[in-house]
Structure 1
Amino acid sequence: MVQKFGSLTAGAMDPYVNRERANQGKTKTGRSFQTFLLGVLFRTDLFFLAAGFLLGRAVIITSLTPFVLPFFATVFWMKRKKRWADSLAVLAGGLTLSVGQAFYGLLALLIFLAGRQIMTAFHRAHEERWLPALVFIAGILVRLLCQAAFTLNLVWTDVLTAGAEASLSALVTLIFMQSVPLMSTRVNHKLFRNEEIICFVILISSVLAGTIGWHVYDLSVDHVLARYAVLLFAYAGGAAIGSTVGVVIGLILGMASVTSLYQMSLLAFSGVLGGLLKEAGKTGVAAGLLIATLLIGVYGGGYAGLGSEVIDSAAALILFLFTPKSLIRQMASFIPGTREYQAEQQQYVRKLRDVTVGRVEQFSGLFQTLAKSFYPPAEEDRPDDDLFLSKVTAKTCQNCFKKESCWVKNFEQTQHLMLELREESRKGNRDENAHLHRLWREHCSKADKTMDVIRKEQGLSELQEKMRRNVKESRRLVADQLKGVSQVMGDFASEMKRERGLHEWQEEMILSKLNGVGLRVESIEIYNLESGAIDIEAVLPNDNYGACEKVIAPLLSDILGESIVVEKKQASDLPGGPSRVVFISARAYDLETGVATAARGGGFVSGDNYSLFEIGSKKYVLAISDGMGHGERADMESQDTLQLLKKVLKSGIHETLAIKSINSILSLRSTEEIYATLDLALIDLQNATSKFLKIGSNPSFIKRGGRVIMLDAGNLPIGIIRDFDVDVKTEQLKSGDLLIMMSDGIFDAPKHIENKEAWVKRKIKELQTNDPQEIADLLLEEVIRVGDGSIDDDMTVIAARISHHIPEWSAFSTDRGEKRFSRAE
């Protein structure tokens, strides 16, 4: 069933892939259009000029203009290059309204610049902290001066009005400082917060307030633009965003024109209906506006004014219908909670992951290159005889009167004799070859001195050769470690590339089946469907009663045809938020272990040590190490070996390379002849394939029914030589097999038995229990009893039994689900 399920992924999903590619092409075209549009707006400064012009015209509650000073403050705080042009646009907008409005704007600009110059002289840093206070003070002064200039009379109501306008200006300054910079980021995309979205909507509403009073034939420009904005936000963000935008825009427009207060109800209702009908596309959103216009329009102007309201809505609908979907989709990517916003977040995470993967792969390649450079030459250079002879002759023959006779007339004979003396010195046979010594004395006038120099130079040469071997071994160790690190980093980079697969219809089928049994599951994402490597992620509202382990995992096991378990469960950081659960393939086998140990003479310190640990979730390691001798030193050697083994294997380095690295470390760290044996079994719990690495250790045994299989290898103990090949044996285990590993103390105990392997096999065969702990205890007890109760060496026995994995919650099937799955296949 799993094979059929997985095989459909490549073939049945081709239309989906083609559709995705087409959508990607359309998205790319839409983004190109958006990039061009934003480039025109920002590079020509069109947006800021238009916003400044309209904000200079915006008046609320008949006489208050709380948008001029905040706009001045924001553009100068942003240090825009065209801030003076933007300021002139404000004055031009005010002049179209009245001369008094233009005078107010000019006076506000002058007072603000003077106050900003004074504040900058004392507080140059953190301008955003004192800027709202400066706007408040400047707002009061400007309004009082204007009132005094035009009326030549001030009353207490003027002071209250100035204070209210200044307070509102300070608040609008904070809003503009949040929203205006969002429009100056050009085409760079970022993810906005809800507060930033609301501030941006208030900015748009303030700009739209400057269009009040404009008419094109029978169309009211402010009504058309306001409804168009609500349609865009309702279609992009849904009912919540649509209604919020409608309320904010309607409130500000209503404050600018008291006769338009009913517009807030119309816009809010349009936002709600349009957001609720957004799944029907632009038609549904348009229907929401028409319904709201017909219902609320009668309330605002009666039947007489309903026609103008419908015309304004129709104009907004035309603008909305001609707006490219790609632009609206890009707009939705800025609004938190939308699918586009989540896709943008995932794209950001994907980009970050790709960058990280690229850097990790670069480091992996770097370590691979370093490993190649550290590896010593394939063939070791032979000793340089000419260099050796030159050193000897420099100390002996250089000042000899027979130099010409020996090295000119009899060169070959002199060289041959010296090299033979060197070979004799290398073997340590200084007095055995009397014939050679006699020939040399007859040939050389300084025979004894020359032979002493040859011995000394040979000793130095051997010492240098040993140092070269140590350096060579150290280079090989470093190269192996670098290669292992490169491999681990490469594997890590591959794991980071974990990408969601194209399994749309499988996800829908699984989701419908889970919801069909009453489980609330928000989404299912399939990353891998390969047998033994299934990876599925689900999002649930909550899991207070363990439904993931008790119901969902068994249902997935029934659908996919193999055991599925919960790997991890991540609760939301927010109270009541959704939980993410990852389901993976369960291991096919379980391993039960038992250990029995005894120290020499019944002591507390044993030279034997063992380690049982998991690598990941589907590999298990059993290891025994026996240090040379007994006591604390042997205990330290075996512990160090196992600790190194555990850390290296858990890092992800291959087991063969791990053994070689540990051997090199132990052989190089001390000049003493110390070593430790290592008996390692690595069992794959997915397919029961086992690898056995034996370094100077005793045979292991597998009991399968009434038959006992012996596994042995001939590698020397670890650390005793520097360069060796690890002999790895592979064995396919079966459910019910018993694996027994033991140290040499078990074999050495029965002194009177010659064929100890056969004796151990017979004892294992005679065991009547399958419990690993009982087996380990019985074998250790039998060995001690045969040895007359004496413990002459450290003893360790590890027993393990492999069996099929049985999930805690067994899978159950439903006929309805099976039929649906069969039709899908």
Structure 2
Amino acid sequence: MEKVERDLIDTIGEVNFGKSKAGFGVFLNKFHVKIENLFIVKGYMLLFIGFLLGRALILAKLTPFTLPFFAAVYLTRKEKAPIALVGLIGGAATISLKESFSSFALSFIFLVIYKLLSKWKKNEQSLVPFIVLLSLVGGGLVESYLFQGEITLYSGMMSLVEGSLGFILTLIFLQSLPLLSFNKRRQALKTEEIVCLIIMLASVMTGTIGWTVYDMSVEHIMSRYLVLLFAYIAGATIGSTVGVVTGLIFSLANVSSFYHMSLLAFSGLLGGLLKEGKKVGVALGLYIATLLIGMYGEGGGVLSISIMETTIAVIIFMLTPQLLTTRIAKHIPGTTEYSMEQQQYMRKMRDVTAQRVSQFSTVFHALSKSFSSNQNLAENEDHDRELDYFLSNVTEKTCQTCFRKEHCWARNFNTTYDFMKDIMTEMSETNGNISLSLARDWEKHCTRSKKVTDAIHQELTLYQANQKLKKQVQESRKLVADQLQGVSEVMEDFAKEIQRERENHHKQEELILDAIQKFGIDIENVEIYSLEQGNVDIDITIPYNTGYGESEKLIAPMLSDILGENIIVNTESLYSNDYSHATFRSARAFVVETGVAHAAKDGGFISGDSYSTIELGLGKYAMAISDGMGNGERAHIESEETLQLLQKILQSGIEEQVAIKSINSVLSLRTTDEIFSTLDLAMIDLQNASAKFLKIGSTPSFIKRGTKVIKIQASNLPMGILQEFDVDVVSEQLKAGDLLIMMSDGVFEGPKHVENFDLWMKRKIKELKTNNPQEIADLIMEEVIRSRSGLIEDDMTVLVAQINHNTPKWKSIPVQTYSQEAN
């Protein structure tokens, strides 16, 4: 009991702790939202920035930041421009009342010129920098004339310098202000935008020049903190850039701060190089830079103050929340956070695409199901209903006026119904005739037997026509259902392929790169996409050397030894003057060598036969012969279109049987002419040499295995005759060295004075003394033509394939040290 009480107390404590932790998280989130609303949405950050920029000086005299900042705020956030102007005037007032009045006057002059010129030019953003230039130069000259009584060369040059700086700063502020989270921006920052943002931040910090706390300079603390922040987020490149730019702005504002640029640049470089040590490593880089630069150019007293400034900057940096650094890092290319953000976006796009494809697959599956569901039940119900309608039409013409209607249909309904049903059944089976016994029994039962029999025969013709039409509709429905199901399966497989991520193979990539480079081959990069047995996919970047063939002769054999299977060069392309890109894939376990011989009727140029050999994806090889009806151009078009449709549908990934049924529906529905074509298709799996044969109205095929000849035959009508038919699939396991011989009817039925074509063809194939596919095709064609005394009475095509083990051209090169680790 005590244990239960303790467990209950602990559980309540954990729940309360979880609630307090969750409550603190909610409080922080609300506080963050309020701060962001105060500074960003309401614009008080612009007031603070304006105050610092209003008192920022260049060369201890010029104030070029005031008007560019006001112009940029007026153009980007016009409603917040008054707040920014108040901050600028307040900051200028800390210098002198003259500067405060000058800032207000320049802003007023800018607004007047802007209103006048904006009526004539629509592109306001390109107009604003020139207005700032004109306002600063004009205002400087007027100020010189009013306070000095004349315009000197010096005052004119200073006005021109201030105007030029204002022109440049306006362009910088116009790019920098939108980056301050005004619109919850999510895009990555460009290099120019990063530099502009740094210049703006450094310009704002120059407004703190002269501020000290216990002899420690505020601008030194803030600038070092800024360098620490960017070095920690983006590394040495961005860190040193921030240091140089910030130091340069400070040196322009105060010449005595010139040495500070070296300290900031060096600390940015060291901090970025030591960022692997997290915040401690970056802070250590700043301490080292402070000591080295301080001892080089300053005395002991100044060095101690500099170290204290660095310490304060480090403390602020350590207190900076990880949320802020992560949020900034997501916008800077090259950072881990940016890469993760991009990967997350790509994964989201991939998942959305896969989901859409899967939804389409579901739609097609539902459509297929709706076409095929409850079809058998509906057919039985329709048959009974139509039989009732049939007999109702007969009785309406015969029994309605009969005096024995009550006797036959009220008292003996089942007997009368069965008699008429049997008569209809026998007439439909015997072409309008009925047996004598049934006729005698019917005459005994019905007083108008002859009239009823004639009416049944008449109605039967319409009934059979209706049944035939209905059957065609049902067959079309089934065909559409099969096609939709095939499309659904292809799209579902495609959705799974989209969702399959590239596996992480960093270790294997390094091992393969190291192994090949130690062998003495210079390669730049290795990318592994798949190491699955039989489906290896590797890309390697190689320095381009014309004509030596390192990829095929050296790299592929080394990969074969490392991965334990035959690897070949799939593609190799030159993508620059110095490098080529090679893709290495698993070699197929079997290869197919083909030979073909064909001839047109009477030695013409256009044959009604067409043939095709297609290497499909997923390691499948297809061979097909199509024979169009008749001869000549029309037959050639039919057979050629059949094979083109077949090739496109098979390459899309649809199953062979569905593909053939789809082609058949196209051929049978596109024209009312009695035009059909045969199809002889063999699908060979190059990984295990299994074969599927689909024969639609075609002649047998033969497999020669040593001295044994195997006949492959199936009974299907040619395509285009019926809208619906069952495709017989014959499967056969092939072996290395087998010869597959396919032929059109012009060859199989071509020999003259031959009673049994099967035996004649088997004997000729068995007598062959060669295994070369092309020679076999030529010999069979020659034998058939010789038997016809040199005449070619029909289109003739022979397609021969030899299946062999895939023996690599180059022997594998042993790299045993790395093979086990890579696998």
TM-score normalised per structure 2: 0.85
1:438-457 correspondence to structure 2 within 5 Å: none
Indicate the SS of the match to 1:261.
Answer: helix
Q: Does 1:648 align with 2:649?
A: yes
Q: Aligned residue for 1:666?
A: 667
Q: Which amino acid aligns with 1:516?
A: K
Q: Aligned residue for 1:356?
A: 353
Q: Aligned residue for 2:16?
A: none
Q: Structure 1, residues 505-563: CA drift from partner, whole Å, max 9, x if none?
A: 33332233234334555554433322111233445676776544444333222111012
Indicate the SS of the match to 1:677.
Answer: strand
Q: Which amino acid aligns with 2:263?
A: L
Q: Structure 1, residues 687-709: CA drift from partner, whole Å, max 9, x if none?
A: 32222212222222222233332
Question: RMSD between aligned alpha carbons?
Answer: 3.8
Conserved 8 A contact 2:225-2:316: yes
Q: Does 1:715 align with 2:716?
A: yes
Change (3 A) 1:228 1:366: same
Q: Aligned residue for 1:90?
A: 88
Q: CA deviation at 1:298?
A: 4.5
Structure 2: how far apart are the matches of 1:638 and 1:481? 22
Q: Structure 1, residues 578-634: CA drift from partner, whole Å, max 9, x if none?
A: 876543322222211100112233333323221111112622110011233333443
- Of 306, 309, 329, the match for 2:306: 309
Q: Aligned residue for 2:474?
A: 472
Q: Aligned residue for 1:565?
A: 568
Aligned sequence identity (%): 49
Q: Which amino acid aligns with 2:568?
A: V
Q: Does 1:802 align with 2:803?
A: yes
Q: Which amino acid aligns with 1:167?
A: S
In structure 1, runs of 5+ residues without a counterpart are 1-28
Q: CA deviation at 1:33?
A: 9.3
Q: Does 1:101 align with 2:99?
A: yes
Q: Structure 1, residues 328-369: CA drift from partner, whole Å, max 9, x if none?
A: 455444333445544443433333222222222222222222
1:588-737 correspondence to structure 2 within 5 Å: 588-616=589-617, 618-737=619-738
Structure 1: how far apart are the matches of 2:771 and 2:266? 75
Q: Aligned residue for 1:224?
A: 221
Q: Aligned residue for 1:64?
A: 62
Structure 2: how far apart are the matches of 1:787 and 1:369? 56
- Of 481, 499, 505, the match for 2:483: 481
Structure 2: how far apart are the matches of 1:789 and 1:307? 111
Q: Aligned residue for 2:239?
A: 242
Q: Which amino acid aligns with 2:642?
A: T
Q: Structure 1, residues 446-479: CA drift from partner, whole Å, max 9, x if none?
A: 987x988866755554444443333333333333
Indicate the SS of the match to 1:605.
Answer: coil
Structure 2: how far apart are the matches of 1:39 and 1:525? 48
- Of 39, 46, 52, the match for 1:44: 39
Structure 1: how far apart are the matches of 2:248 and 2:293? 15
Structure 2: how far apart are the matches of 1:569 and 1:310? 58
Q: Which amino acid aligns with 1:366?
A: V
Q: CA deviation at 1:571?
A: 6.4
Structure 2: how far apart are the matches of 1:779 and 1:553? 40
Indicate the SS of the match to 1:305.
Answer: helix
Conserved 8 A contact 2:361-2:489: yes
Q: Aligned residue for 1:212?
A: 209
Q: Aligned residue for 1:259?
A: 256
Conserved 8 A contact 2:601-2:793: yes
Q: Aligned residue for 2:10?
A: none
Change (3 A) 1:58 1:305: same
Single out whichever of 141-150 and 48-57 deviates more from structure 2: 141-150
Q: Aligned residue for 1:373?
A: 370
Conserved 8 A contact 1:191-1:345: no
Single out whichever of 331-340 and 176-185 deviates more from structure 2: 331-340
Q: Which amino acid aligns with 2:501?
A: E
Conserved 8 A contact 2:563-2:822: no
Change (3 A) 1:512 1:429: closer
Change (3 A) 1:438 1:72: same
Structure 2: how far apart are the matches of 1:196 and 1:569? 39
In structure 2, runs of 5+ residues without a counterpart are 1-23
Structure 2: how far apart are the matches of 1:72 and 1:572? 49
Structure 1: how far apart are the matches of 2:309 and 2:151? 42
Q: Which amino acid aligns with 1:335?
A: I
Q: Which amino acid aligns with 1:270?
A: S
1:12-411 correspondence to structure 2 within 5 Å: 40-41=35-36, 44-45=39-40, 47-79=45-77, 82-123=80-121, 125-144=122-141, 146-147=143-144, 154-184=151-181, 187-279=184-276, 281-298=278-295, 300-302=297-299, 305-323=302-320, 327-328=324-325, 331-375=328-372, 377-379=374-376, 380=379, 381-382=382-383, 384-388=386-390, 403=401, 405=403, 407-408=405-406, 410-411=408-409
Single out whichever of 580-589 and 481-490 deviates more from structure 2: 580-589
Conserved 8 A contact 1:511-1:521: yes
Change (3 A) 1:365 1:142: farther
Structure 2: how far apart are the matches of 1:257 and 1:733? 88
Q: Structure 1, residues 380-423: CA drift from partner, whole Å, max 9, x if none?
A: 231613434555677x57xx9x6373655543588778767766
Q: Structure 1, residues 264-293: CA drift from partner, whole Å, max 9, x if none?
A: 222223333333444455455444433433
Q: CA deviation at 1:572?
A: 6.0
Q: Which amino acid aligns with 1:111?
A: I
Change (3 A) 1:160 1:541: farther
Conserved 8 A contact 1:699-1:711: yes
Structure 1: how far apart are the matches of 2:426 and 2:681? 44
Q: CA deviation at 1:784?
A: 1.9
Structure 2: how far apart are the matches of 1:209 and 1:569? 57
TM-score normalised per structure 1: 0.85
